[in-house]
Structure 1
């Protein structure tokens, strides 16, 4: 039997599974409901999102909303958009940026959340961690190749790079992303939200 949304939210909020490995402590950041037609699976919250508790509450989030062509009002409406990172809490800082998402999180929570969502949803797979977990093993190995082959994963999945500041130079090297992919992404998202 599918557990109640409220109970699942409470269990996630109370999770302390990774406490010894979380430098800022636990603060799971997720958003979901039974009606969300779009699911965003990304990496893990950064320090700004950890501080606010609001998913994608940073420059990367602003860029993502621009890519999707949706308002903050729609983006932060759990009835429309579900947000489920690979790791729900800030994992800490590494040598070249944030550490990878904690590996315990997705196996512990993802299936429980996915059971609550519509089966015909569109899932945006942002970054290599989400793509490695959810795309078929036959998908291209390099993230650029996976993103370029986006149409082969539709209507279920839409792979995207992470919209951090690092993607600006990647976008300059891959002009097809803005000219060919973004118009399809915006139209696909619009149809799901209408």
Structure 2
């Protein structure tokens, strides 16, 4: 696993597309039971090299009901984004994750992760990639039908502060999804 992680951290496959240059951010350990698949690091995470080291990460840890210590324990959580490097700025936020990463690195990582009990799919990029034709037309529909994907996958919206409107518009998420998510996490860690 360490050799693979070192290879990923040296990756420059999409270097010419990255305004800030490559800095792959990923954590994994063969014992991890939970895999978090998000979109791509933002500028703060690009600078620190620590996954989910921002406001979105703080919100995600609240949703999971876990401490920072547990969250960053690689034997509990593997953190594998769809795009390993900051993709750059777009008109309405960050650009989508680079499409090269997941096909290049996800399978080799999962081949090393033998104890995975749950894969948390954050955002539509992760959901479409992993759920394929079983993903619904919208992220909201996919998350609302989360029970269909259990026990292997649990889809979530992005925990970004920019998603406050989505959370306000979909109060069922905190009532129906978060208790199931927290109970599953509690049993695994």
Is TM-score (shorter-chain normalized) higher than 0.5? yes
Equivalence for 1:27: 23
Equivalence for 1:114: 110
Three-state SS of the structure 1 residue aligned to 2:112 is coil
Work out which of the residue numbers 84, 92, 97 in structure 2 matches 1:88: 84
Equivalence for 1:17: 13
2:115 maps to 1:104:
no
User: Contact between 2:31 and 2:115, CA under 8 Å: does it hold in 1?
Assistant: no
Equivalence for 2:146: 150
Question: Comparing both structures, which one devotes a greater share of its residues to helix?
Answer: 2
- What is the CA distance between 1:80 and its match in structure 2? 0.5
Three-state SS of the structure 1 residue aligned to 2:134 is coil
For 1:35 and 1:14, the matched residues in 2 are separated by: 23
Work out which of the residue numbers 45, 51, 69 in structure 1 matches 2:47: 51
- The two structures have a TM-score, normalised by structure 1, of 0.95
Three-state SS of the structure 2 residue aligned to 1:77 is coil
In the alignment of these two chains, the number of paired residues is 189
Three-state SS of the structure 1 residue aligned to 2:142 is helix
Gaps of 5+ in 2: none
Gaps of 5+ in 1: none
Work out which of the residue numbers 50, 53, 67 in structure 1 matches 2:63: 67
For 2:116 and 2:109, the matched residues in 1 are separated by: 14
- What is the CA distance between 1:121 and its match in structure 2? 2.1
